[in-house]
Amino acid sequence: MNTSTNHKTMLAIMVTAVFTFSGSVSAHSIHTGGIQTQTNSQALAPFDIIHTKVTTQGNVATFHIAVSGNAGEITPTPIGKLAGSDVFSYVWPLTLNSHAVGFEKDAGILALAITSHPDFDDTPLYDENGDGNKANDGNIWHSHWVVLAPNEKCGPNALGVVDIPKGEKPMLPKTWPGLPLLIDSPNYQPEFRGHDLNVKVRFNNIESLKSANFDGVTAGLRINTSAHSPLLCVKNVFDVASGDLSLPGKTNH
């Protein structure tokens, strides 16, 4: 997992085992560059990716996903408890090293994720709904860095967010939310507008991102009923921009 080739190979194996696609209509003509994607009749329109792109201006990167429906329109149905609850997400897997955003070097597959999950809040530093309570707004779409790795406990050829074993203290970003996971809650603001989702991210070293590859994914994750073994698994992949998670996207192309 130390090279972009290993990232691409591992992700391709995962996605082949989890789902297949059927495309029919080309992406909207207004989208240029990046990864152009046919519509996927098997995916719900708010998660049906038609375009994915990453661009930079100065030290700020814009992560973009467009879907055939209204982006962010569907959020998980609350079940009233943490165990077994769902997380919906828009994700950009990257070949960027995990160390670039504050985790240990070569910790796994780094991804930027925009998520919604009404049954728990994992952004304890921020009050997204502005009601004075920082612990009740997990349902509002918000940003994370996550580190993913294969985990057979999540299912055959499945990915999970990397757990932090009890007693270990790895390098973590300053805005780590305190969960026993390689996850960060940096408060980047997702902007939903019609078909489009855009997220602006400021980098200390933007050059590392410029040389990285990316893909676009919409997915459902689930908190395991057995809690920390592992805590958070990818359970349903709704759509993938490249179709095979080969990470063909290049920043600023």
Average pLDDT by stretches of 10, the chain with 253 residues: 49 43 43 90 94 97 98 97 95 98 97 97 94 95 97 90 93 96 97 98 95 97 79 94 96 95
CA pair distance 76, 89, nearest whole angstrom: 10
Q: What is the pLDDT, as a whole number, of residue 31?
A: 73
Q: What is the pLDDT, as a whole number, of residue 40?
A: 86
Q: What is the pLDDT, as a whole number, of residue 115?
A: 98
How far are the Cα atoms of 104, 199, 204, 217 from residue 209, in angstroms, in the given order? Answer: 17, 15, 10, 18
Q: Is-contact 85 119, C-beta < 8 A?
A: yes
Q: What is the pLDDT, as a whole number, of residue 109?
A: 97
Q: What is the pLDDT, as a whole number, of residue 19?
A: 36
Residue ranges covered by each domain of the chain: 4-250
Alpha-carbon dihedral angle through residues 130, 136, 142, 143, given to the nearest 10 degrees:
120
CA pair distance 143, 146, nearest whole angstrom: 10
Q: What is the pLDDT, as a whole number, of residue 8?
A: 55
Query: Alpha-carbon Rg of the chain, whole angstroms?
Result: 17
Q: What is the pLDDT, as a whole number, of residue 6?
A: 55
Q: What is the pLDDT, as a whole number, of residue 156?
A: 87
Q: What is the pLDDT, as a whole number, of residue 11?
A: 57
